[in-house]
Amino acid sequence: MYIADILIFMSILTVENLSKSYGRIQALKNVNFSVPEGAVFGILGPNGSGKTTLLGTIMDILKPTSGTYKLFDEDPTEMHRRKIGTLLETPNFYHYLSGVKNLEIAAEIKQHGKEDINEVLEKVDLTKRKNSKFNTYSLGMKQRLAIASCLLGNPEVLVFDEPTNGLDPVGIAEIRDLMKNLYKEGKTIIMASHLLDEVEKVCTHVAILRKGELITSGNVNEILSNEDMVEVGAKDNEKLMQVLQNMPGKSRVANEGGMIKVFYPVGFANLESINNFCFANGIILNHLILKKKSLEARFFELTNN
């Protein structure tokens, strides 16, 4: 007799019917989702969608109007929040002090993490500039120092609000690489962002908000890329359209802007099969390209924006 091992995965955050109102303005409307342990979970939405309100509520900066949430599968307490490193607004670093001195002050305020300072500076690639004054840092370096402050005390979970906001392309790339490295270390990361590209490149899971309402949540690949698309063309596109209508395996065929597009469930598009089917039906293709449905198109489709 064999007994199968049962793996139980913890939910770092579980949000249940969470609502928050400011007078007549409803910032959050019965939001429900769960963040699995070890995920990079993106809360995606345009400005005003409720992302910052949601993070502020989770960290007990704001009180919900109704609904509940749990941290580590338990009712939240201060002990749970001490396991979380947060960057919800620009930290108050002293411009005339060095990076290492600022982290010493941050550790003193948190009452833990002083022994981690050299290690976190190494993680954010600031060891060589640790004795430089904060006001000599680039924007990207300042943000990396802020993340270093979050890492003091070795928290299990990190919560960031728009971590790449205002950075140049180099700074954005640095923060993204840092996020990926922290994920590989086993950290669970919850981050709010309005940048579609950021979520696609960094996150494993996503929740999409629109005007305080949850539109959808789940695995990034499932939510933001639900179709493969193949562009095809031939000398006689009208006849090509007729042939493609009878091709097995496709989801649909469309003529968009003079370009014929064949849609498939993710992973089912096969260029060789398409080419062979068309050739067998008297069509010689002069254009055949596999294109994933763009993240931007899927996001706008979901938010009706």
Distance of CA 40 to the CA centre of its chain: 6
Q: What pLDDT score does 251 carry?
A: 87
Looking up tokens 């939910």, which residue turns up?
11
Residue 104 near residue 96 (C-beta atoms within 8 A): no
Question: Within 10 Å of residue 186's Cβ, how many Cβ atoms?
Answer: 9
Domains, the chain, ordered by start: 11-223 (3.40.50.300), 226-303 (3.30.70.980)
Asked if residue 95 has pLDDT above 90, the reply is yes
Neighbours of 193 (CB within 10 A): 22
pLDDT at 219: 87
Is there a contact between 233 and 259 (Cβ–Cβ < 8 Å)? Answer: yes
- Whether 166 has a pLDDT exceeding 90, the answer reads no
pLDDT tens per residue, range 250-288: 988 988 767 899 988 877 889 999 999 999 999 999 999
Rounded Cα–Cα distance for residues 142 and 90 (Å): 10
| Pick from 13-22, 41-50, 193-202: least confident | 193-202
* Residue 102 exposed, middle or buried by CB count within 10 Å (0-12, 13-18, 19+): buried
Share of the chain above pLDDT 70, in %: 92
Task: Determine phi and psi for 221, rounding to 5 degrees.
Answer: -65, -35
Report the b/e string of 240-278 with b at 16+ CB within 10 A. Answer: beebbeeeeebeebeeeeeebbbbbeeeebeeeebeebb
* Residue ranges in the chain assigned as alpha helix (H): 51-58, 78-81, 99-110, 117-123, 139-151, 169-184, 196-202, 220-224, 237-245, 271-280, 295-303
Percent of the chain at pLDDT > 90 equals: 70
